Chains A and B, each alone.
Chain A
Amino acid sequence: MKLNFRRIIAIINKEFIQIRRDPRTIALILMMPIMQLLLFGYAVSNNVDHVPTAVLNLDIGSQSRKLLSSFSNSQYFDLDYYVKSIDDVQKLVDKGAVKAGIIIPPDYSENIARGKTAQIQLVVDGTDPTTAQVILSSAGSITQVYSTEIVSQKIQTLTQGRKLSGVLDIRPRVWYNPDMDSVYFNIPGLIGIILQNITLMLTSFALVRERERGTLEQLIVTPIKKMELMIGKIVPYIIIGFVDLILAVAIGTLWFKVPITGNILLLFAFSIMFLLGALGVGLFISTISNTQLQAMQLSMFLIMPNILLSGFMFPRDAMPKVIYMLSNFIPLTYFLKVLRGIILKGVGIEYLWPEFMILVVFGVGVLVLAAGKFQKRIG
């Protein structure tokens, strides 16, 4: 089958004119990446700090004040409320005014002074388990450090000045994202999500719109070949996908200051492969839908599991085995690995070639499937 370049150009040209004259499509192409990046970049943050906290201090000694100041100095806790009874703590948690409460018993300072184990109580609002988890672990490490300090002081006084050497000393070092800032995690993932959503939606409408308006029937009756039509329909959206990719990368690096440590050309090469798959899925939806509404519903149906399972929001390691297996069949899973690998870790093709192969196989496969499903007949 010999493809005619002029026919393909005619389709591409027509597609671009239609996009150019439709303000809603233009808005979607330009605003969606910007809005999603800003929304996710700012609003969706897993960084839990400055937790509003209530304090019920029944102790009158100086030790408890020292402990509390180590809490407030940590930046993790804001000791907003000092209350008089356990009921008050309860009320503040119920109201949602605080997420945590620190309760210090009356004998706290006395116990410390006597060298006994002193107890404090931490109350955490568990409605949001992720936040509660972070609060628990930061409170844990604050008290850990504080108690080590007390013990070492005790030993120093007992041994007349001899310093305590620890038994086990962990020296953690976090690579690639040392501050563990969730923006670094979110932005590369978002680039993948945006790329997929916009191209999938636009292409799934591309053929259905023509079917709805009757222009597809007109087009089928011309001598245009199936592949010419398919290529003509895909190329404009690859270009648009690329515009959005550059836009998203620019916002990520310039606005959110997430540097691209790896090779940007490699990133682009991967993106093309990923785009082929997303466009193929869009075209496939196009061939099996009769109305734009159906196409929209099908796109949404596919986009949701992509967001949930790809590891964009929730770590795949925490998923049950079945779900984890399922997420292996989502190309976005691999693309996210690639994006985070190149942007955050700066790794190259030597580590990413399996993902490259998977994306190529998926992209070509789904395009062939869509082309096979599309018929120049209506019945």
Chain B
Amino acid sequence: MEYAIEIENLTKKFGNFTAVNNVSFNVKKGEIFVFLGPNGSGKTTVIRMLIGLLTPTSGLGRVLDFDIVKNPEQIRLNIGYMSQKFSLYDELTVEENLDFYAGVYLVPKDVLQQRKREILEMADLVGRENSITATLSGGWKQRLALGCAIIHNPKLVFLDEPTGGVDPVARRQFWDLIYRLSENGVTVMVTTHYMDEAEHCNTIGFIHYGNLLAVDTPENLKKNQMKGQIIEIKCDKLMESLELLKTVDFVKDAAVYGQGLHIVVDDAKRYLVTLADILKSGGVKVANIKHVNPSLEDVFVFLVENESRKQFIREMM
């Protein structure tokens, strides 16, 4: 068995609304798979189907070789799950929360103390064992929630938006924990809407309005998915320039990116000077214009645009 998760044509409808549309992908054992997409794109729905919380409308899914519809209890024995809001018992102390989940997961009593110490050290919670959970800050809670989810040493961990509402330092710390899990052979499936978090994972699945747009390594996505090259422009009058460039016929796409603009063209070298001239004659002061490698955000924006173009064409025909 090479895959920890196998999904084939998975669909979930809520009434007339299709939350997940015909999604297929596999997650290799031991990899970090990032499910990337904006809020409401269907990431959580896919995860909830995989752990047996929701029944798929159609399609197949296997997690650790167990069918997601027939054998959810077998799956639950072997996975860890951390839901969107870190679902801890606020009135309990850090240690009581760990003890509770250890009891529910039947962690053998002879290894319990050892396991708890590992978790506390890993989550940087040593010395906080007796703090009431409600008094912890977001980062601590988040790491404790992860600790509770993996107290039984699962082979596969689902983390649903684990870094939502947490400060950047805590986010970095948390991702260090995810890498550590992966080093120990645990398969990790993480959902997020932060592009930067996806840069260092093994595989990314792009999902948008229930449709899986692409699944690949970050490098391959940047190399293969983009039809075109990126020119980055730093200039004044951003919005005016954006409107101006959108009217140019060889510009395939233009969008604000950070402090500047990203322009998609077929051949960056060929159009670089032309673009600079167009802007100057339009009265825009250009500080910097250069050919750059596409970021994940560029790829995602491109894929979404591409998808809506396809959708548009489908609807016309």
Contacts and interface: CB of A to CB of B under 8 A. Distances in A.
Contact of A215 (B51, B84, B88, B105): B88
B55 A379 contact: yes
Contact of A22 (B52, B77, B91): B91
A113 B99 CA distance: 92
Contacts of A377: 52-55
Interface string B79-108: 101011101111110001001111111100
A376 B106 contact: no
Given A217-B83, A378-B48, A222 B55 contact: no
B55 A4 contact: no
Nearest to A22: B91
Contact of A220 (B53, B101, B103, B132): B53
B183 interface: no
A24 to B, nearest CB: 12
Interface in A217-241: 217-224
A9 B99 CA distance: 11
A171 interface: no
Contacts of B90: 213
Given A7-B104, A377-B54, A221 B76 contact: yes
Contacts of A222: 76, 101, 104-105
A13 interface: yes
Given A214-B83, A218-B81, A221-B76, A378 B54 contact: yes
Interface string B59-85: 000000000000011001101010111
A13 B96 CA distance: 10
Nearest to B12: A379
A28 to B, nearest CB: 16
Residue of B53, B84, B90, B104 most packed against chain A (CB within 10 A): B104
Contact of B81 (A9, A18, A221): A221
Interface string B171-209: 000000000000000000000000000000000000000
B53, B103, B132 pick with most chain A CB within 10 angstroms: B103
A224 B54 CA distance: 17
A22 B90 CA distance: 11
Contacts of A215: 87-89
Interface size class of B (residues with CB under 8 A): 20 to 34
Given A215-B89, A378-B48, A379-B55, A13 B83 contact: no
Given A13-B100, A214-B85, A223 B92 contact: no
Interface in B118-136: 132
A6 interface: yes
A376 B92 contact: no
A21 interface: yes
A18 B104 contact: no
A11 B72 CA distance: 21
A67 interface: no
A174 interface: no
A14 interface: yes
A357 interface: no
Contacts of A167: none
Contact of A6 (B54, B55, B77, B106): B106
B69 to A, nearest CB: 10
A7 B84 contact: no
B85 A7 contact: no
Interface string B104-120: 11100000000000000
B87 A4 contact: no
B83 A14 contact: no
Given A220-B53, A222-B105, A376 B87 contact: no
Interface in A4-55: 4, 6-7, 9-11, 13-14, 17-18, 21-22
A222 B83 CA distance: 12
B68 to A, nearest CB: 11
Contacts of B14: 379
Nearest to B14: A379
Contacts of A223: 73, 76-77, 104-106
Contacts of B92: 14, 17-18
Contacts of A379: 14, 53-55
A215 B100 CA distance: 12
A14 B99 CA distance: 9
Interface in A175-234: 213-215, 217-224
Given A223-B73, A377-B55, A218 B87 contact: yes
Contacts of B72: 376
A213 B89 CA distance: 9
Contacts of A13: 100, 103
B103 A17 contact: no
Contacts of A18: 89, 91-92
A214 B103 CA distance: 19
Nearest to B49: A379
Contacts of B89: 14, 17-18, 215
Contact of A378 (B53, B100, B101, B132): B53
Interface centre among A6, A213, A219, A221 (most CB of B within 10 A): A221
Contacts of B51: 221
A371 to B, nearest CB: 16
Contacts of A214: 83-85, 87
Nearest to B85: A214
Nearest to A229: B104
Contacts of A10: 99-100, 102-104
13 contacts: A7-B106, A10-B104, A14-B92, A17-B92, A213-B87, A215-B87, A221-B52, A222-B104, A223-B73, A223-B77, A223-B106, A377-B55, A379-B53
In the A-B complex, the 3 residue pairs with the smallest Cβ-Cβ separation, listed nearest first, are A10-B103, A218-B87, A214-B87
Given A18-B91, A218-B87, 6 more contacts: A6-B103, A6-B106, A214-B84, A214-B87, A379-B14, A379-B55
